[in-house]
Amino acid sequence: MPSSVITKWTGGMVFDAEINGHHLKMDADPEWGGTNQGPRPKPLLLAALAGCSGLDIVSILNKMQITNYHFEIVTEAENTLEHPIVYHTITAKFVFRGDNLPEDKIKKAVTLSTERYCGVNAMLKKSANIIVKIVINDTEVM
């Protein structure tokens, strides 16, 4: 099934994207004529990457019966210097907190997502180096 997003210019530098019935406003920095009414488009790629893997990982951990944990994903990107300015390196840090978290199962869930299931990761890694890190209770394990 094809994906479709309708993006409308609403004035100034603001665009409204309708995605699956949800609206997302995007805008430029004030230094570029924007009014800061929404995120910039390029960082939304990082949010899409985190959301895609996050959904996979939570689903996989649920199937492994891993519960009672806190989970966040920190994504950072480094830009090229020449136009078009693109992300050349993206670091995705998967941070887990909780009691008695099984390191092997968390590593397996993250690896399955980042190497097999997440389509956003598959698309972005064709143009950027993606570094995956896993942190469990403040200790980097991968």
Give the pLDDT score at 2: 86
Superfamily of domain 41-140: K homology (KH) domain (3.30.300.20)
- Give me the pLDDT at residue 1, please: 77
Q: Which residue ranges make up each domain of the chain?
A: 1-39, 41-140
pLDDT at 133: 98
Which helix (H) or strand (E) segment holds residue 61: the answer is helix 41-63
CA distance 41 to 85: 13
Distance of CA 22 to the CA centre of its chain: 18
Burial class (CB in 10 A: 0-12, 13-18, 19+), 109: buried
Low-confidence ranges of the chain (pLDDT < 50): none
Predicted structure pTM score: 0.94
Task: Calculate the average pLDDT of the chain.
Answer: 97
